[in-house]
A and B are shown apart, each in its own frame.
Chain A
């Protein structure tokens, strides 16, 4: 049984900053531990509150202030150096775009574990065939299933034990 989650861990979980394995463990723990679930819910509420406050603080400048700023901009003549700089604006824009892209993409890539993992299509075929085990007259002895390379158990684990609640009279 895992001990209660630390505040730091909870924050990391909330910001999707954990490895997939750790993320799954924390998810399962929050699901099972009411104390940590309360702490998690409280933390999500605080985050939401901060987000709303921040949004509310983004106030419009009074129109008179805006007008004065534009007037100053229009009246100020560019210096020769500014004229030269203006020629390089597209290059600045490209560099800035590259920087923004790097800042956005690097955390995404790291979050997904350097490169996004891929799941062998054979897993999907095999799992589909396996779940057909309870379908009347489904064929379980075909060559197709025998020819699939086996997916090692180390690559695949059931992480969530969902209670089985059969309702035999439902159909």
Chain B
């Protein structure tokens, strides 16, 4: 009888645990797409920490659901007064210092299917563990830790508005536990009164309009991307556990056809670029470090927490970009063999 009661209790705990996990996942899923149905105005602090340099910014953000956003940069001083207006997939970057508006298009911004797919990837690689709640920007939040199922390491922590499910604070961590990026709302108010005209691009006197980078919808048919490259493209034989190819495209930059494959585990990402036209990476605006990939000379640069490693092998030029440790990036690079 006693045993039966214990078993019932254990079952109840298991069911409660499963329900909590289910709840946590559904809250997080909501959070990933919250800006699609919420309108708000607030102020955000964002920092990216690197061993060579860090980037910090403070910006005002106004967002009208589903896809109108305006960011005004208040800091650093170099960006003060600049703003970025995003209307669906088109962004207008108002650069007041250089009197120009740069217009670029990014089809991935509206790719809800891929976002869903990548959320599924995240939940297959990360355990979502409730964390102590905190107040952020005067709002009650639900805290969650995202723990890598393969390594047991916490890769991200998020604080989600208890009522609206908007992410109000987020911290990402390196494999050694160091914070590599942090974002936090200092102030937020939800409103449905943001007029659409507010997101019109101002007609600034004397501003030149330039065309920036365009990104078409990438493909998740990696074999088709590799075929389209026009050369014998190769990929890494080693990837950290949980990583898989998620999308790719082939573009031409300065007449050089270049293939880009993106790998991810749902939170961390890694890009591999390759070309067969002898086009090296111009690293002149960064501090360059020498290293080797197997016995081949390689170079790497860092920008905030993101590392770019470049090398040549068997007539192909490679560039690997990601937020992983240099040791991990080198191991991946060494596995890119024809």
Interface residues of A (CB under 8 A from B): 19-21, 24, 27, 31, 112-113, 116-128, 130-139, 141-144, 146-147, 150-168, 170-171
Contact = CB atoms under 8 A, between A and B. Distances in A.
Given A116-B278, A119-B275, 6 more contacts: A120-B281, A134-B108, A141-B59, A151-B212, A156-B252, A157-B251
Contact of B254 (A117, A135, A147): A117
Given A124-B273, A127-B213, A163-B224, A112 B278 contact: yes
Interface in B219-237: 219-221, 224-225, 228, 230
In this complex, the interface size class of chain B, counting residues with CB under 8 Å from chain A, is 35 or more
A92 B46 CA distance: 66
A171 to B, nearest CB: 4
B308 interface: yes
Contacts, number: 247
Contact of A131 (B170, B260, B266, B308): B260
Contacts of B120: 168, 171
Nearest to B319: A124
Given A134-B108, A136-B119, A143-B56, A150 B93 contact: yes
B328 interface: no
Interface string B264-280: 10110101010101111
B28 to A, nearest CB: 8
Given A128-B321, A153-B213, A171-B121, A116 B59 contact: no
B258 interface: yes
A153 B215 CA distance: 10
30 contacts: A27-B230, A117-B278, A117-B279, A118-B279, A118-B282, A119-B256, A121-B285, A121-B308, A124-B273, A124-B281, A130-B106, A130-B215, A134-B111, A137-B31, A137-B158, A139-B48, A141-B59, A141-B84, A142-B46, A142-B304, A143-B76, A144-B303, A147-B78, A152-B210, A153-B211, A156-B253, A159-B250, A162-B218, A163-B219, A164-B218
Given A127-B213, A158-B250, A168-B117, A147 B79 contact: yes
Interface in B102-138: 102, 104, 106, 108-109, 111, 113-122, 124
B283 interface: yes
A158 B48 contact: no
Contacts of B260: 127, 131
Contact of B321 (A125, A139, A157, A159): A125
A123 B252 CA distance: 12
Contacts of A124: 271, 273, 281, 308, 319, 321
B23 interface: no
Contacts of A158: 214, 216, 249-252
- Across chains A and B, which 4 residue pairs bring their CB atoms closest together, nearest first? A143-B57, A133-B108, A134-B114, A153-B211
B46 A131 contact: no
A54 B216 CA distance: 47
B44 interface: yes
A170 B216 CA distance: 23
A9 to B, nearest CB: 16
Nearest to A167: B220
B301 interface: yes
A119 B267 contact: no
Contacts of B111: 133-134
B282 A141 contact: no
Contact of B282 (A121, A132, A133, A144): A121
B207 interface: no
A20 B281 CA distance: 18
Contacts of A152: 210-212
A6 to B, nearest CB: 20
A135 B117 CA distance: 9
Contacts of B303: 125, 144
A122 B115 contact: no
B186 interface: no
